[in-house]
């Protein structure tokens, strides 16, 4: 019988997200990716162990680096020779991009000592680790760069834009827009993204090892997201807050390669429908008393004054 072992330390994940899956092939192990050990050698490892929300990873940068890079180093030891190692990298590898949309060939504009570096650089270094392992040992590798994923099952205290605005709209009604809100993101609904991942990770005949941009290529500014949610939830208002240091000004995937590697796949859920579906899920969660207290973004005082 095939077996699926889910390893999660529940730092940002929630056990209840798996509660509906009753399948004897699934085993859940509460452990850190960088410390998990097993007598098994796995045919395939999918490494998604990392917080993705800036306030969460900025609060624990060392742990973030450890989860990504330490996780990959440890898990590689558990892979069968020539097994497949898939990894969720990020559009953050492009930093604050100087080209739009961003193709995979764009090398990015990242500050390796900046406030987002624990996330950006550990994703970048894990990409290097996997590419070099592929080159030197012949393991099969699949690396995706995900652009701003949102949707149901995000924790209400996650702190990223869509989930934060929805939690705020359903509680005190004040939507915190950092800066003037003109910064753009490409918001990908979770079902579309999962569909792309399953097509890429589980199609044996594919030989492309990545990196592969996956996301929705319609870019929408943060202020437009806030205004849309303001309209959906009566009584909501926008509160402008100080800008987050080094907040990327724009982000949009070039999907040319994605459309070649995954023919027929498209992000089908419009942003308007996706936000409405996510709102309904949040309404239930917040109604059941889920915590909506996201950590505040970290403001690095070293960046406040020019040196
Ligand atoms: N943002 C905001 N208010 C919030 C949360 C996020 O204005 O309550 C902004 C954030 O500064 C960024 C954008 O929304 O410009 C997307 O932030 P998110 O944390 O969702 O993802 P990021 O792309 O920064 O990783």
pLDDT tens digit string along 260-289?
999 999 999 999 999 999 999 999 988 888
Residue 299: CB atoms within 10 A of its CB come to 13
Who wins on pLDDT, 64 or 290?
64
Measured between its terminal Cα atoms, the distance across the chain in Å is 61
Spell out where the chain has E strands. 4-8, 26-30, 42-47, 79-90, 140-146, 149-150, 174-178, 184-186, 188-189, 212-214, 219-221, 237-241
On whether the CB atoms of residues 230 and 236 are closer than 8 A, the answer is yes
Say which CATH number the domain at 140 has.
3.40.50.720
Q: Which has more confidence, 300 or 216?
A: 216
**Is it true that the peptide bond before 101 is cis, omega within 30 degrees of 0?**
yes
150 is catalytic: no
Q: Phi then psi for 164, rounded to 5 degrees?
A: -65, -45
Catalytic residue among 57, 94, 106, 119: 119
Alpha carbon of 110 to ligand 1 centroid (Å)? 17
Q: Calculate how far, in angstroms, residue 161's C-alpha sits from the geometric centre of ligand 1.
A: 4
Test site for ligand 1: of 119, 158, 222, most ligand atoms within 8 A of the Cβ: 222
pLDDT digits (tens, 9 = 90+) for 198-226: 999 999 999 999 999 999 999 999 999 99
Q: Residue 109's beta-bridge partner residues? A: 95
| Residue 222 near ligand 1, beta carbon < 6 Å | yes
Confidence of residue 78 (pLDDT cuts 50, 70, 90): very high
Do 190 and 269 meet the contact criterion of CB atoms below 8 Å apart?
Answer: no
- Confidence check: pLDDT of 44 > 50: yes
What is the total count of domains within the chain? 1
- Is pLDDT at 235 greater than 50 in this prediction? yes
**Enclosing domain of residue 211:** 4-150+187-217+249-268+290-305
**Residue 155 located in a structural domain:** no
CB of 183 within 6 A of ligand 1: the answer is: yes
Confidence (pTM): 0.95
Domain-located, residue 178:
no
CA distances from residue 230 to 175, 277, 296 in whole angstroms, order as listed: 8, 15, 21
Answer with the residue of higher pLDDT: 149 or 295.
149
In a domain, 97, yes or no: yes
Asked if the structure places residue 36 within a domain, the reply is yes
Q: What digits encode the pLDDT tens for the residues 9-38?
A: 999 999 999 999 999 999 999 999 999 999
Q: How far is the CA of 160 from the centre of ligand 1 (A)?
A: 5
Is any atom of ligand 1 closer than 6 Å to the C-beta of 160? yes
Instruction: Check pocket membership of 244 for ligand 1, CB cut-off 6 A.
Output: yes
Average pLDDT, the chain: 94
Instruction: Kindly report, residue by residue over 167-185, the tens digit of the pLDDT.
Output: 999 999 999 999 999 999 9
What pLDDT is recorded for position 121? 98
The stretch 93-102 carries a mean pLDDT of 97
Q: Is 169 in the pocket of ligand 1 (CB under 6 A)?
A: no
């Amino acid at each position: 019988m095939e077996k699926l072992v889910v390893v999660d330390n529940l730092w940002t994940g929630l056990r209840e997200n798996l509660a509906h899956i009753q399948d004897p092939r699934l085993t859940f192990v509460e452990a850190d990716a960088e410390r998990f050990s097993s007598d098994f050698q796995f045919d395939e490892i999918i490494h998604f162990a990392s917080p993705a929300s800036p306030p969460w990873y900025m609060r624990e940068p060392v742990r973030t680096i450890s989860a990504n890079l330490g996780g990959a180093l440890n898990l590689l030891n558990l892979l069968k020779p020539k097994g497949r190692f898939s990894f969720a990298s990020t559009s953050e590898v492009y930093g604050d991009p100087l080209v739009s949309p961003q193709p995979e060939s764009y090398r990015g504009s990242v500050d390796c000592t900046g406030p987002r570096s624990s996330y950006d650089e550990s994703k970048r270094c894990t990409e290097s680790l996997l590419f070099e392992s592929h080159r030197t040992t012949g393991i099969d590798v699949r690396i995706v760069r995900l652009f701003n994923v949102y949707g149901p099952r995000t924790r209400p205290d996650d702190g990223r834009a869509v989930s934060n605005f929805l939690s705020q709209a359903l509680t005190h009604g004040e939507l915190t827009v950092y800066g003037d809100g003109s910064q753009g993101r490409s918001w990908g609904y979770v079902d579309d993204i999962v569909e792309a991942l399953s097509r890429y990770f589980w199609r044996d005949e594919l030989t492309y090892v990545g990196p592969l941009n996956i996301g929705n290529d319609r870019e929408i500014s943060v202020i437009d997201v806030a205004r849309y949610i303001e309209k959906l939830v009566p009584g909501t208002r926008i509160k402008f807050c100080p800008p987050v240091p080094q907040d990327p000004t724009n982000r949009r995937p070039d999907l040319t390669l994605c459309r070649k590697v995954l023919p027929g796949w498209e992000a089908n859920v419009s942003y308007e429908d996706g936000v409405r579906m996510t709102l309904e899920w949040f309404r239930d969660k917040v109604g059941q008393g889920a915590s909506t207290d996201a950590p505040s973004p970290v403001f690095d005082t070293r960046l406040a004054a020019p040196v």
